[in-house]
Amino acid sequence: LRLSKVSIFLGNVVNIQTGEWKSVISGLGAGLDSFYEYLLKAFVLFGVEADLRMFQEAYALIISQLRRGRDRCVLGEGETPMYVNVDMRDGSLLNTWIDALQASFAAVQVLNGDIDEAVCIHAIYYSLWKRYDALPERYNWHLKIPDVYFYPLRPELAESTYMLYRATQNPFYLRVGFDILHSLNTFARVKCGYATVHNVVDKSLEDRMESFFLSETVKYLYLLFDVNNAVNRNEERIMFTTEGHIIPIDKRIRDPVYDAPQYFSRNHSCIAFKLDRHRPPLDQSRLAQIFRLAGIGLGFSGSNF
């Protein structure tokens, strides 16, 4: 974990021969999303505590420096919690867009046990999906319009939806999955497959389908609804890579300290989460607030979901 010599932040592009940072953007989207994911998953797979410490340090920095809005997602007053892009040199706000790859961070937060935070970041991307029936590659939250209009059938929202449903069993996330499926079948389905959406506003298409649509997007949606699938029955013994490949969690390749319950429970714990499966994870007023962030008008009613 090599940080800037003048900053505590990570950039998103580095020259691996010189160590020079080539891009000063520090955020949760393209170029950085999988890094944070793999710090945590490396610990789960191999039990090397140094990986967990690096993730915890990085996560604390994300919460303190990249997060904006009220202190708690589901409680209190103030703006909707969200994560912004900052300049790695001084931590100042660098731009006012979020990108589609950041939608996967909710799944990382689920794995970290921070369900409250995952609920909020997921809701932001779901609200964008409700507005466009797709996820623009970049969305300007200040201007409330896309900065980059195409949607190449990315899996990140489907992945986080699946992970939140597995963690909470809240049927709200089945509805989200249904909405994703309906939009894909309505606007992206073509004779020989599913096409990249060139423009999320006019729904024009491109003559291509990315491989990750089948290996990830479809996989997560399938597993979301196939609750008795062997993958779901054995979810505590497997891990998804950032590309959606399934690999086993095997004690033969882990530090044995990781498998000592008394050691782990004494040194680590998850954030408490109040589980209520009979209502949406956010109340109507907070859902409406998030939908306004996505540019959906004040007429939104949570009763529609």
pLDDT computed for residue 73 by the predictor: 87
Which CB contacts under 8 angstroms, 24+ apart, belong to 202-208? 203/133, 203/134, 206/150
137 is catalytic: yes
**Active site residue: 137, 156, 159, 216, which one?**
137
> Domain boundaries in the chain?
13-294
> What is the Cα–Cα distance from 62 to 32, expressed in whole angstroms?
12
Q: What is the DSSP string of the chain?
A: ----TT-SS--SEE-TTT--EEE-EESSSTTTHHHHHHHHHHHHHH--HHHHHHHHHHHHHIIIIIEES-S-SSSSSSSPPEE--EETTT--B--SEEEGGGGGHHHHHHHTT-HHHHHHHHHHHHHHHHHHSS--SEEETTTTEEEE--B---SHHHHHHHHHHHHH--THHHHHHHHHHHHIIIIIEETTEE--BS-TTT--B-S---HHIIIIIHHHHHHHH-TTSHHHHTGGGEEE-TTS-EEE--GGGS-GGGG-HHHHHHH--PPP----TTS-SS-HHHHHHHHHHTT--TT--GGG-
Q: What is the pLDDT of residue 222?
A: 98
How high is the mean pLDDT in each 10-residue block of the chain (305 residues)? 59 89 92 94 93 94 95 89 95 96 98 95 97 98 97 99 96 98 98 98 98 98 97 95 94 73 58 69 90 76 44
- Is 242 annotated as contributing to ligand binding? yes
Q: Which two tokens stand for residue 25?
A: 């953007």
Residue 265 has a pLDDT of 55
pLDDT at 300: 44
CB 241 within 8 A of CB 155: no
Say if CB 206 and CB 198 are below 8 A apart.
yes
* pLDDT for 267: 60
Name residue 190's beta-bridge partners. Answer: 193
Q: What is the pLDDT of residue 277?
A: 72
CATH class entry, domain 13-294:
mainly alpha
Instruction: Quote the pLDDT of residue 261.
Output: 57
> At a CB cut-off of 8 Å and minimum separation 6, what does 149 contact?
136, 137, 198, 199, 200, 201
pTM for the full predicted model: 0.91
pLDDT of amino acid 60: 95
